[in-house]
Structure 1
């Protein structure tokens, strides 16, 4: 798996953390400022009298959210030792952004808000059984933010955030250096492209997956460049999976098809998700269909529903109508896709929540037979499994008037508002069709939900 957050083994052992504790003890004794700050954050002034190996182990345990080194050791030796580290979701965001998120969460914790308590219990092991969040500290809030982004500690989040900003600058500089080669690609100059290295060819393939590979050049759903020139790059590059992921995010259908034909893996998980997961979350049903024809990865109820595979959806339920235990090996999270959404609250094992996820994604991609099947089974039309977004919100945003009509007939509430944007169905319509308010699809949906048209721009 590529794109790991930081330079750590994918399955760190207890011996690894013991060495980390020894390193912290020596660094603290040598007067290292960073080590001093870490120790002071946990032990305050107590370390001034003495700081032994056991104290360093305690600091590591606390940084990971555990009460004691013994608790942390049990975790590492058990489930923690087999858990793979997630892939990177960071894209050059300033560290101060995450500090602000932690500060906002701390305020919610101090107000003892239920959602904040749920996040605290899910991500900070020493608070796993807490009944109140009012006594949480800033380091607890920081750990929650780090865990939601896939990092085991706040320190590692900050460290990789700084690294990601450096990496982003380097990538931008590399794209600037390859500007002329990108122009050669657009012009079909195979001779110039033949002189590129494998790494340069890979960078150009990633650039080609974006809607605007170089300023002023817009590419759409078609390939948009001479195929022979692209094939020169395909023959040189060693990684086609990351370009496929970006093509799936950008709706570059013809290019995604070419990458698949050239050997890109539709099941590769890079930058937080598979190409199919990204296509689903970015509302691109044509790319979803293209990828699903090759492989549905991950194979889960929500992806089956988004792909319109009613046969596979039905197979997720037993003869008694109960959800099968293997129906949700992977759960959707919008934060994995780079679409600008925060991470959801930790998903529960509640079958109703799992079914609700599948239902809203079926609405999103216009899979009306799947939507009707769920409704007939008793799913409430206003179910909102994450971010407060109902199936109607998803259907409106996706431009699915036939699904909108069905949901309204079954009692969906167009006045319901989501948790993030606080928008009702009419608000989502204005957001989705802001650039084309008089689109025939927008007009049909507007008539169905009874929304007022957006005011004319003068």
Structure 2
């Protein structure tokens, strides 16, 4: 029975109920409950008590004792913040900070523009308090404020209960500030370079470094002084094993094979050490440094990033270790590269000694399709094609998501439906990636621009507009004015 990770928003009360339910089932002789006790209790008690059920519950979630599990929940509670749920306020400085910073949940189009407008209307907001000084990069007044009271450098406050360094790192204002200098001033006065928070209780900390780099599922923009600010933080001792940054600029956002952030993080110790203060606080809930690099190699194989693959292989990342994220499906990097048609990546991994996987018939067919090799696809014959059409209709969605208009056309010619819906259509995926070429290919092949997704009842244009995908937004508006 595998270790089960804690759920999102872990609750002490829910875990207590879980332990009580387990005890009741054990006493009733339920086989699954007895098996759980057999596996996770160091000795099988003859007359189990609540303490035994609590111990099993803790060990099932990877904690050695119930006390350690409860201490973990206290840590999560201490660092949890939900910036996306903070309501608007009439206080000008507080409202300015609320809309000036990324929240990773309420970053709607125009939000940051509201902050610029507030600041333009009242320039005094920039120096209203230590938090607005940090958010605007107002280095000179910040230095004076901290000279008068150095404790302000680490004081939590403002709308999100953050330290000033976090407001600095997550601010996205149009007017340029002296951010690197302001960050150094804060750090010189005692700010923690590893400052961060747990977004809505999730176990991957959003640190100042995370804020500097941006990215993520909403494709949040980088800080205007991103790399410079990141270097300041790392040079001051921020741990480079930043799981959320790796996710935001890898698996969690629109893909780019850029390596600038990885090169900087590797320079300062990504993949080495003990994982820093956040792993000390959260333990196994955070990936180890070595696991972070394996996840990144799997991501580069899945998404098609030869530059990243070369860089990671130079650092000796094991080539055959599967990534742990569900998106990888337990596949090795080599399998992922083959199944998604990334030939160059597959060749790099093979040259590095990766074991060639044995693909099933439908997997081999998908690999041939995703590589765009019509000749190889033809060798499978009509029976395999019929099975693929019936069992893997989402292959066309995969091609669209990975920016392969050539593969989309190949699949459409084989009979795949370019409007196939897997919660969203291929056109939604291409629109979210701001991929005009794939959007054009899908539309030429008959994709419906008015199709809506299952979750938000939104069209591809709605997706593009919400995500700030300017190229696709402009193309769809021009081509289909009736959708507006």
TM-score, normalised with respect to structure 1? 0.46
TM-score, normalised with respect to structure 2? 0.44
